[in-house]
C-alpha cells in the first residue's frame, strides 16, 4: 500500500471562497491570485474552480504558461512584473499583463520589439517599502510609459502593508469595527490617491484582508480590481481577530493521513525525539504518517501545555512530542475507538465534516496559514474532489 497521506483540494470550497471575494468586492473585478503554485494547492487543481474569476494574478512566466495551457484566455497579471528583458517576449506571446515597479523594467520595454502593445500596471510604493516607485517619481514613470509605442494601457497599483491590522478599540471600550481603516492603511491610500490624481487607468490596491474588510465600505480601497489570494484557499487573513468561518470561508485543502501505529504509554514515559513530552498518566498514543518532510511544521508544539490541534476520526485532539521527518504522535484519549488506519486530519475538513482551520494549526506553530499551505511537500499528492 502507498503511504496514506494526501492533500484533498475541495472544488466546492474554492468556488464558495471565490464567491465570497466577489461579493466583498462589490462590483470590482477579481484577480484570483495563484502564485506559489496556487498557495501550494496546485494551479491545475484549482483552475476549474477559480476560472469564474476575471483574471489570474501570479508571479512568473512558467505559471502564466500553465494557466494559458489550461485554456484560460482572459487577463493574466505578473504581480512583480518581468524579472529580465526576455520575460517581455513571453508577455507578448502569451498576452500577459505585467506590473512595472522599477526603472529598468521601463527600459526593457522601450527596447522590446513587439507588434502587440502591452497592458502594464505601474506600481506605487505607498509606504510598504517593498516594490514600487516613490510618490515623487511616479508621475514621471507614468509619462515615460505613456510615451512608449510598446505600451497600450497603464493601470495603477499599490500594495497595503497592514490591511490585516487591528484597529484599537476606542477608550470607551466599544467593540472594534473590522471595517474601519487602520491608520497605516489610510495613510497608504491617501498617498496612492495623491500620486494617481487625474491619471487615467484602472486601480488595484486590495489583497484578501483589504477586500474582506474595506472593499465594500471604502471605494478608494476597492478600486477597479481586487487581488485576493489567501481567502480563496479558506484561510482568514486576519486570524485570530476573525476566523475563517466568521468570513464565510471554507478550507480548500485538507491534509489527511492515517494512524500507522498505536502505543500504550505508562505514566512518566516519554514520546518522540528529545523526550520532550512525558505522560502524566497512562495514555494511548497514535502515530501518524505525516512529518516535517510533508510540510507539517516541525515547530508545532506537542506538550502538556499548549499543544497543536489535530482531528482523529473527526474528533479534536492534540499533538504529543516532537514532529519527526515522517511521523508525528497524537493523544488518542478523546478518541478511544481509534485504531491503525483511522483517519487523521492535520488541517481542513475530516470525512465526518468536522473542520480544523489551518489558521489554528498555524497559530499553534507560531506562523500563518499562508506558510503551511505553501509548504505542502511535493511528496504529498493532491486529489481534487467536488
Ligand X SMILES: *Cc1c(COP(=O)(O)O)cnc(C)c1O
Nearer to ligand X by Cβ, of 22 and 159: the residue is 159
CA distances (Å), origin 282, targets 267, 277, 279, 313, 320: 5, 13, 7, 22, 14
- Helix axes 135-146 and 103-110, enclosed angle (nearest 10): 10
Task: State the chain's maximal CA–CA distance in angstroms.
Answer: 77
Please report how close the Cβ of residue 33 comes to ligand X at its closest, in angstroms.
4
Grid cell digits, residue 137: 517619481
Nearer to ligand X by Cβ, of 228 and 272: the residue is 228
CA distance 150 to 219: 31
Please report how close the Cβ of residue 171 comes to ligand X at its closest, in angstroms.
31
> Other CB atoms closer than 10 Å to residue 153's CB: what's the count?
15
CA distances (Å), origin 165, targets 160, 184, 238: 10, 9, 7
Q: Closest CB to ligand X belongs to which residue?
A: 229
Nearer to ligand X by Cβ, of 32 and 320: the residue is 32
The 8-class DSSP code of residue 22 comes to H
- As annotated, the active-site residues are 35, 273
Please report how close the Cβ of residue 264 comes to ligand X at its closest, in angstroms.
44
Nearer to ligand X by Cβ, of 8 and 57: the residue is 57
Task: Sort strands 328-331 and 315-320 into parallel, antiparallel or unpaired.
Answer: antiparallel
Grid cell digits, residue 311: 482531528
CA distance 233 to 342: 26
Please report how close the Cβ of residue 273 comes to ligand X at its closest, in angstroms.
34
Q: Are 370 and 235 in contact (CB under 8 A)?
A: yes
What is the binding site for ligand X (CB under 6 A)?
Answer: 33, 35, 79, 159, 207-208, 227-230, 237
Please report how close the Cβ of residue 205 comes to ligand X at its closest, in angstroms.
9
SS3 of the chain: helix, strand, coil, percent, to 5: 30, 25, 45
222 annotated among ligand-binding-site residues:
no
Nearer to ligand X by Cβ, of 35 and 118: the residue is 35
325 annotated among ligand-binding-site residues:
yes
Q: Give the residue ranges of the annotated binding site for substrate.
A: 130, 325
Q: Give the residue ranges of the annotated binding site.
A: 130, 325
Amino acid at each position: 500500500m502507498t503511504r496514506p497521506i494526501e492533500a484533498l483540494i475541495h472544488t466546492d470550497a474554492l468556488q464558495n471562497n471565490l464567491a465570497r471575494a466577489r461579493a466583498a468586492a462589490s462590483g470590482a473585478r477579481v484577480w484570483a491570485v495563484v502564485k506559489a503554485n496556487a498557495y501550494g494547492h496546485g494551479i491545475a487543481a484549482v483552475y476549474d474552480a477559480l476560472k469564474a474569476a476575471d483574471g489570474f494574478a501570479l508571479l512568473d512566466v512558467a505559471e502564466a504558461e500553465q494557466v494559458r495551457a489550461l485554456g484560460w484566455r482572459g487577463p493574466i497579471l505578473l504581480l512583480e512584473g518581468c524579472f529580465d528583458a526576455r520575460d517581455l517576449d513571453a508577455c507578448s506571446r502569451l498576452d500577459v499583463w505585467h506590473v512595472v515597479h522599477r526603472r529598468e523594467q521601463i527600459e526593457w520595454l522601450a527596447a522590446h520589439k513587439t507588434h502587440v502593445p502591452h497592458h502594464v500596471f505601474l506600481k506605487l510604493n505607498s509606504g510598504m517599502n517593498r516594490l514600487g516607485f516613490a510618490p515623487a517619481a511616479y508621475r514621471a514613470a507614468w509619462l515615460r510609459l505613456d510615451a512608449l509605442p510598446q505600451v497600450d494601457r497603464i493601470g495603477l497599483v499599490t500594495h497595503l502593508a497592514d490591511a490585516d491590522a487591528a484597529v484599537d478599540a476606542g477608550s470607551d471600550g466599544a467593540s472594534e469595527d473590522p471595517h474601519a481603516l487602520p491608520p497605516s492603511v489610510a495613510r497608504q491610500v491617501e498617498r496612492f490617491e495623491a500620486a494617481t490624481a487625474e491619471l487615467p487607468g484602472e486601480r488595484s490596491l486590495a489583497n484578501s484582508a483589504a477586500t474582506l474588510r474595506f472593499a465594500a465600505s471604502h471605494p478608494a480601497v476597492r478600486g477597479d480590481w481586487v487581488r485576493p489570494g489567501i481567502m480563496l484557499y479558506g484561510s482568514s487573513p486576519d486570524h485570530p481577530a476573525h476566523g475563517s468561518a466568521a468570513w464565510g470561508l471554507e478550507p480548500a485543502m485538507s491534509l489527511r493521513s492515517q494512524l500507522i501505529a498505536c502505543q500504550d504509554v505508562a505514566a512518566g514515559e516519554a514520546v518522540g525525539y528529545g523526550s520532550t513530552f512525558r505522560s502524566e498518566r497512562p495514555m494511548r498514543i497514535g502515530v501518524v504518517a505525516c512529518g516535517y518532510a510533508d510540510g507539517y511544521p516541525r515547530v508545532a508544539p506537542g506538550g502538556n501545555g499548549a499543544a497543536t490541534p489535530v482531528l482523529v476520526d473527526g474528533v479534536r485532539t492534540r499533538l504529543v512530542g516532537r514532529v519527526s521527518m515522517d511521523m508525528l504522535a497524537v493523544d488518542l484519549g478523546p478518541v478511544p475507538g481509534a485504531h491503525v488506519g483511522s483517519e487523521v486530519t492535520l488541517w481542513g475538513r475530516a470525512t465526518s465534516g468536522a473542520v480544523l482551520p489551518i489558521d489554528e494549526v498555524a497559530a499553534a506553530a507560531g506562523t500563518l496559514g499562508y506558510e503551511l499551505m505553501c509548504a505542502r511537500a511535493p511528496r504529498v499528492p493532491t486529489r481534487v474532489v467536488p
